[in-house]
Amino acid sequence: MAVPLQCSNYPGYEIFNKMHGISSGVVIPPGSAILFTAGMVGPVADGGLEFSEDIEDQFQKAFQNCEKAIRTAAPSLSAEDAWKSIVQITSYHVGGVAEVDKPLAKVAGSFLRGHQPGWTAVTVPALGYPGCKFEFSVVVALPPK
């Protein structure tokens, strides 16, 4: 079961909440364990470093890899609860908003399903692997062991 997070928005943040489905702050309940993931990328094959030219494919694989990381750390969580447990996302994208925003919103929405974590998105000129256009990490509140 997901830890019950308290998401909030200060007055004036509503525009970002409505546009992107994110919160200005998230409170983690006392006693929760906290998971910090490494940067998740979306190579074509697990264990490989070849990346699709299609950025939506990279988003899809990166989100699948993130789910694997969360559920490896907390195997009792369902896939849905793994995503509901995310407190904060930090993402790095190669390409401008016009190129990234719609496909990222589509893929993220299919995993987050209405959950609204905090999210910081940064456009960068390049990432650490040739052809990689997207990398993100998450902070996750886990049930106490």
Task: List the CATH number of the domain containing 10.
Answer: 3.30.1330.40
Range of the structural domain that residue 81 is part of: 6-142
Helices (H) and strands (E) in the chain — how many of each?
4, 6
Continuous segment of H or E residues that includes residue 140: strand 134-142
Q: Is residue 38 part of a domain?
A: yes
The answer to the question of residue 101 being in a domain is yes
* Averaged pLDDT, 95-114: 94
- Domains in the chain: how many in total? 1
- What is the predicted pLDDT for the residue at 142? 96
Report the alpha-carbon distance of residue 11 to residue 2 in Å, rounded. 27
Q: How confident is the model at residue 82 (pLDDT cuts 50, 70, 90)?
A: very high
Condensed to tens digits (0 to 9), the pLDDT of residues 14-73 reads 999 999 999 999 999 999 999 999 999 999 999 999 999 999 999 999 999 999 999 999
For residue 1, tell me if it sits in a domain.
no
